[in-house]
Amino acid sequence: MLKTYVAFDLETTGLSETKDHIIEIGALKVIDGKVQERFSQFVKPPEPISPLITNLTGITNKMVANARPTEEIIAAFMKFCGENVLIGHNIMFDYKFMKIYAKEYGHRFEHSGIDTLKIARKVHKDLESKSLGALCEHYQIENQAAHRAYHDALATAKLYHCLGHYFQEKESKLFEPQPLFYRPKKEQRITWKQKEYLQKLSGWYGIELSEDLEMMSRGDASRLIDTILKQYS
């Protein structure tokens, strides 16, 4: 098993790496089997945190209000990670967000990683849930603040060691770091048919469209059309 790595976790405003935003980064750096450094920072999103996310994470708009500039936080996190292997639970979810933020601020974020969720899905087919919470309960790992980034990162590191203790010898390939790869999909622009239809809907229902139609994506246009039809038809 690895004795040097970075375990990390994010809290976000939603599940879409292209539309939602990071609100907290938590990580710990393990060197030669011992926790040597910790990283815990709030990130202020460009939009208010919804009550749903506050209820889930306990993170409020007030808590992120005085966060350092996002560019500084991302730079600090890139430096914290260095060239180390990353460990996470459902790691690609967090990696996608970080990849987008890193690119936005001019950083490279290229790492190999180990996913404790992937390991659990293979070795714990008997468990109904492979969530971090369920696995912590199974292994009696205490997580003092579930759905807070640093504490989930710490719980993930502990889970990695538990899984390794019981299964690394039999399933050694599952514990080998794999390159993490993500390339954000380019949003396709609104079609002329969508634009024409939205303009017709605007006229039919007397709606003033605040969005710049030329800048909309196909997905956003489809969602706006569905919203208008549900509300007015």
Write out the residue range of the structural domain in which residue 209 sits. 192-232
Region 132-157: mean pLDDT is 96
Instruction: Give this prediction's pTM.
Output: 0.80
Has residue 185 been placed in a domain?
Answer: no
pLDDT at 189: 78
Query: Are residue 219 and residue 150 in the same domain, yes or no?
Result: no
- Which residue among the candidates 147, 151, 161, 165 is catalytic per the annotation? 147
Query: Are residue 112 and residue 218 in the same domain, yes or no?
Result: no
Query: Are residue 172 and residue 206 in the same domain, yes or no?
Result: no
Q: What digits encode the pLDDT tens for the residues 43-65?
A: 999 889 999 999 999 999 999 99
Q: What digits encode the pLDDT tens for the residues 201-231?
A: 888 888 887 667 877 778 778 878 888 887 7
Using CA atoms, how far apart are residues 64 and 43, in angstroms rounded to an integer? 6
Joined together, the tokens standing for residue 5 give: 């790595």
What CA–CA distances, in Å, run from 130 to 27, 134, 187? 21, 6, 32
pLDDT at 210: 65
Using CA atoms, how far apart are residues 48 and 227, in angstroms rounded to an integer? 21
- Mean pLDDT, all residues of the chain: 93
**pLDDT band for position 187 (50/70/90)?**
low
Number of domains in the chain: 2
**What CATH number is given to the structural domain containing 63?**
3.30.420.10
Active site residue 138: no
